[in-house]
Amino acid sequence: MKASSPASSMMTPTLMDLVIKKHQGKPGELLGILEELQNRHPHKYLPAETLEYVAEKSGLPVSQVYSVATFYAFFNLKPQGEHTLVVCRGTACHTRGSKSLLASLKKILNLKEEEGAEKIFLTTADKKFTIKTVACFGQCAMAPVVEVDGKMHSHVTEMKLKGLIDALVKGEKKK
C-alpha cells in the first residue's frame, strides 16, 4: 500500500523521515518512532496517513504498524484535546467515587457519550479537553485517582477535580 500524503497529519515528510532515521536500528525502533511522531503532532495522535508513511519508509506491513499502535494504550488514533484527563475505573477507584467524578467531569465540560460505553474517549468541541477512562492505574491505595496532563492526582473529590479544571482553564499548573 502506498502511503498517503502526510499533509493531513500536519507533519512534513522531512520531519517524519528524520524521526524514522533517528530510531532506525535501535531496540524498540517502531515504538520509538510512533511515540516521537505522536508527541510532535499538535493534537498528540497518530493519523492513518502517518502510520502508512512509517510502514512504507520502514519496510513494514501497514498491519504490523497499526497493530502496535492499537495494542499499546498510550498511542492515540484520534485527536487529543490540549489537556487530557484520565479517570481510573478500577475497583478501588469505583468504590471510592470515580463514577461520580466522571459524571461531574462530563457535566462540567458539557460532554455526552453513548450509554453503556465501558471505555470513554471524549473531546470538547473546542479541542481544549479530552477525557478518557482507564481500567486501572494500579494506584489503589490513593483512590480515586485522576491523571491530568500526565500527572497523577490522588484522593480526588469533586471539589478537587473542579479546582484542577479551573486551574487548566486559567492556564495555571495546579499541584
* Banded model confidence at residue 1, pLDDT cuts 50, 70, 90: very low
Give me the pLDDT at residue 6, please: 44
* Banded model confidence at residue 8, pLDDT cuts 50, 70, 90: very low
* Banded model confidence at residue 48, pLDDT cuts 50, 70, 90: very high
Question: In 3D, which of 162, 158, 164, 163 has the Cα closest to residue 96?
Answer: 158
Q: What amino acid is encoded at 31 in this protein?
A: L
Question: Domain residues of the chain, as ranges?
Answer: 6-71, 83-170
Q: Say whether pLDDT at 2 is over 50.
A: no
Task: Give the residue carrying C-alpha cell 470538547.
Answer: 124
Under CATH, which number does the domain 83-170 receive? Answer: 3.40.30.10
List, in sequence order, every beta strand (DSSP E) within 44-100.
83-88
pLDDT, tens digit, 9 for 90 and up, residues 59-91: 999 999 999 999 987 899 989 899 999 999 999
- Tell how strand 129-134 and strand 83-88 pair up: parallel
Q: What is the mean pLDDT of residues 124-144?
A: 92
Report if pTM > 0.85: no
Q: What is the mean pLDDT of residues 10-27?
A: 90
Q: Count how many residues are written for the chain.
A: 175
**Residue 117 CB partners (closer than 8 Å, separation 6+):** none
